[in-house]
Chains A and B, each alone.
Chain A
Amino acid sequence: MSAAVLHERPPLPLLLRWPGLVLAAVLGVAWRMSEGSLAALLAPEARAAAADFARGFWPPAHSPEFLRFLVRPLVETVAIALAGMTLALVLAAPLAWLATAPGVARAEGDAPGPLRRGAWLAARTVLNLMRSVPELVWALVFVRALGLGPAAGVAAIGIGYAGVVGKVFAEIWESSPCAPARALAAAGAPPRRAFALAVLPGSAPLLASYALYRLDCALRASAVLGLVGAGGMGVQLEFSLKMFAYDEVATLVLALFAVVAAVDLLSAWARRRLAESRGLFPAGPGALRWRAAILGTWLALAAGAAAYLELPLGELFSGATLRSAAGFFGSMFPPDLSPGFLRALVPAAAETLAVSILGSAIASVLGLGLALAAVHPGTRGLAGAPGDSRLRSGARLALAAGARGAMNLLRTLPELLWALLVIFAVGLGPFAGALALGIHNAGVLGRLYAEALEEVPPGPVAALRGAGARPLAATLLAALPQAWPQLVAYTLYRWEVAVRASAVLGVVGAGGIGALLHVSLNLFQHHRTATLVAAIVVLVTAVDLFSGWLRARILAGPASRAAPRAACAPGLANAT
């Protein structure tokens, strides 16, 4: 039976048919435009820089002054993430409700009039705009509009993440079963009540679980916002990196790693508890208590974060701030559309696109290697054969653990910080950006790939193993082909994220449109800033649409089991 599946859809020859050839051509162009160079990668300077880094990394800086100094930026980073995520939820919930497809409202017994349809369109547009502008750009803008410090960071995460959270919430509601709402509406419940009683309770655990998951991403984002003056530990990391103080970098990265891991564990635990209490209605008072406890903890932590950051909530909504923000946004219009500037903009935008493509390609190759090494040895017959020596299975376990650790480390450091590092190995320019994207996303993709490989139906793998194939061969020949469409879809999702990151890499000297943005903001050329932000939105939206179209084509095929996951997958893939 496994043979039949393989014959129906032979995955590798696909690379030799036209999609493969187009892909190869695109990658070739991206390599050229990103100034890719194997020579730069293998040059003695690159080796020296890597050796310096490895040597300097140990021992990490641990002088009491440095550790004391570290506490505040670290706590600030966590607090910004938490407060920002809370703001994102507050903004996203109503927008998501408005953006939910009118079909859901019909199920609730509402006949959406033109006004409701207009609101739907407007909410979708607003969410897309919020999502298309990278957080770092929001931060750059808010530092100007709201002033310095953590408030700008909170606003940047709040607005940037509201876009994606709102979109996912709307999708969750759209994919909720409509029958209960329909039943309530038929029994005479008004539409809003039908929504509150029939749609919301069933989806609540999914919403909460997504919000918790997103908190991880917010934490990593918050660690780089300091680069532009929006608080947190990013600025210290940047300076330590630029000054070659690798022992300090080591301490900072380890600290960030520990915090991310702790939040990861906590949120995974909370998500598990929520999943257990899942159902149309909470199973009982016990489950309700859990929900209340998790919600209460979140609110208490968010309030604590706001207090710690001394968020001037009153001042934030004061006349002076609103005036200064309005003045800033006003000064951006009209956008600079002079031919000279547009001539500089087009190659920069093309470079950003090329960097994102090459970066995603590097990430998918590295990620696949890591995933193959990391596939859990105990999973579904992928493990060592019964006849394997203890030494061999031990080595296999160690390899898997090592690969997982490596993926987590790659993921922890955001693209921008990787770029700062890579610049010293291969020099300034877009190639450093592509490598940085590749390294960070290899960690993210590796994890997603490994999960996809572990979840394939075990039959074919077991059959090959039974016939005496080695574990790697069984994975390559039986698991990989089954997971292939899923892997391609994840890679495309990741490309959508990569293009957002690639648009800001120029801020640290890694080429593309970000370099122009950095200059225009520093020289107060707000008309140009407006054009550049608009260009980023257009680029990101184009990539989203194209990648969405490709994904739909790829997943529409035989991998129908992937379809139910499609709705929540953007979240998974949007991990920064």
Chain B
Amino acid sequence: MHRLAAVALAAVLLVPPAARALDALRVSAIPDESPTELQRKFEPLGKYLEKNIGLPVKFVPVTDYAATVEGLAAGKLDMVWYGGFTFVQARRRTGNAIPIVQRAEDARFHSKFIVPASSKAQSLKDLKGASFAFGSVSSTSGHLMPRYFLLQAGIDPDKDFAKVAYSGAHDVTAKWVEAGKVDAGALNESIWQRLVDEKKIDTSKVRVLWTTPEYQDYNWTVRGDLDPKLVEKLRAAFLALDPAKPEDKAILDLQRASRFIPTSPEAYKNIEQAARSAGLIKD
């Protein structure tokens, strides 16, 4: 009886998962903005992709960065919108995840350090002893790169800040600084721009202290074992989005992209290097 159970368990563990014919493309995104915002952003893009690849596209809302990495690794997600650092994590976790496209803006991305308008700080150095908000632990523009540049400026966040908090998302970081809940914070420049443009943040209460040098950020990544033909179709669909066409422009605007460009794993070597020197990945 026991032996039977053991044999059954071994059989279950050894048989490889059956290659599954895709009945829908399951897409997700790191939750760097509120779930309602992510869903709203994705809808027109999802419809466009559906038309171009001839498969239903299903958006799977995920509320945890690391869970999107595990989701791709476990084959529960087919395509994910990753930040640079989560892509590096996904690539290390799976070994074969493929970044297919990024926004033109992502090749030259920046983070903003923001402080309340009344703050006396004039440079990063003045932030010693402050309470500081990063975005999510796994965020590139909200944690990794700001941490990296802080270290470069001689500030060790774990030692030199009175308190380090992870707000979880970029728009939350901005709200926290605006409300004076922390002395300073760092966030993604494109979300900062949207908050300012849409007047979601009161610029008489918050000012930008410093903008980081440029680095590579977000991309669309697919599972390494996805059908190569499908991958090509997806890449082509993204690259075909033309800002001159009004209906394409609407999709691109929601993604805050001027257009999409091809990308490759090599583009993210520097991010991996930064993560290593900031102590966020260890080998």
Contact = CB atoms under 8 A, between A and B. Distances in A.
Interface of A: 45, 49, 69, 143-144, 147-149, 226-229, 235-236, 238-239, 242-244, 317-324, 326, 423-424, 427-429, 509, 518-519, 521-525
A242 B13 contact: no
Contacts of B168: 238, 242
B244 interface: no
B179 A148 contact: no
Contacts of A322: 9, 12-13
Contacts of B175: 242-244
Interface stretch (B45-53, B68-76, B225-233): B68-76
Contact of A428 (B62, B64, B163): B163
A320 B172 contact: no
Nearest to A510: B165
B224 to A, nearest CB: 16
14 contacts: A143-B64, A143-B67, A144-B66, A144-B70, A147-B67, A149-B60, A226-B63, A242-B168, A242-B172, A319-B14, A320-B75, A427-B181, A523-B138, A523-B281
Contact of A236 (B35, B169, B180): B35
A326 B179 CA distance: 44
A320 B74 CA distance: 8
A242 B74 CA distance: 31
Contacts of A324: 70, 73-74
B122 interface: no
Nearest to B71: A148
Interface in B154-212: 163, 165-169, 171-172, 175, 179-182
Interface of B: 9, 12-17, 34-36, 60, 62-71, 73-76, 89, 93, 131, 136-138, 163, 165-169, 171-172, 175, 179-182, 280-282
Nearest to B167: A242
Given A148-B76, A524-B89, A229 B67 contact: yes
Contacts of B63: 226-229, 235
A143 to B, nearest CB: 5
A402 B32 CA distance: 41
B131 to A, nearest CB: 7
Given A144-B66, A522-B136, 8 more contacts: A147-B71, A147-B74, A148-B67, A148-B71, A229-B63, A229-B67, A318-B17, A522-B138
A72 B78 CA distance: 24
Nearest to B16: A319
Nearest to B37: A239
Contacts of A320: 17, 74-75
A523 B166 contact: no
A429 B66 contact: no
Given A509-B165, A524-B89, A319 B137 contact: no
A244 B163 CA distance: 22
Nearest to A236: B35
A524 B66 contact: yes
A229 B62 contact: yes
Contacts of A427: 131, 181
Contacts of A238: 168
Contacts of B172: 239, 242-243
Q: Which of A69, A322, A323, A423 has the most chain B CB atoms inside 10 A of its CB?
A: A323
B17 A319 contact: yes
Nearest to B9: A322
Contacts of A428: 131, 163, 165, 181-182
Given A144-B66, A427-B131, A524-B66, A45 B180 contact: yes
A518 B14 contact: no
Contacts of A521: 66
- The 3 tightest CB contacts between A and B, nearest first, are A229-B64, A522-B137, A320-B17
A428 B60 CA distance: 31
Contacts of B16: 319
A66 to B, nearest CB: 9
A143 B136 contact: no
B35 A429 contact: no
A434 B169 CA distance: 24
Given A318-B17, A319-B15, A228 B64 contact: yes
Contacts of A326: 13
Contacts of A525: 282
A464 to B, nearest CB: 50
Given A229-B67, A243-B175, A423 B181 contact: yes
A317 B13 CA distance: 10
Nearest to A319: B12
Contacts of A244: 175, 179
Contacts of A144: 66-67, 70
A509 B134 CA distance: 11
Given A244-B175, A319-B15, A519 B137 contact: yes
Nearest to A69: B36
Contacts of A147: 67, 70-71, 74, 76
Contacts of B66: 143-144, 521-522, 524
A142 to B, nearest CB: 10
Contacts of B62: 148, 229
A332 B166 CA distance: 24
A319 B70 CA distance: 16
Given A69-B36, A320-B17, A243 B171 contact: yes
Contacts of B179: 49, 244, 424
A238 B282 CA distance: 31
Nearest to A232: B63
A522 B65 contact: yes
Nearest to A518: B137
Contact of A242 (B70, B169, B180, B282): B169
A26 B179 CA distance: 35
A477 B254 CA distance: 67
Q: Which one of A45, A49, A522 has the greatest number of beta carbons of chain B within 10 Å? A: A522
A318 B15 CA distance: 10
Most chain B CB atoms below 10 A, which of A144, A148, A242: A148
**Residue from B36, B60, B182, B281 having most chain A Cβ neighbours under 10 A:** B36
Given A229-B64, A523-B138, A518 B166 contact: yes
A364 B168 CA distance: 32
A309 B93 CA distance: 28
A271 to B, nearest CB: 35
Contacts of A226: 63
A69 B40 CA distance: 12
A226 B67 CA distance: 12
Contacts of A522: 65-66, 136-138
A45 B171 CA distance: 21
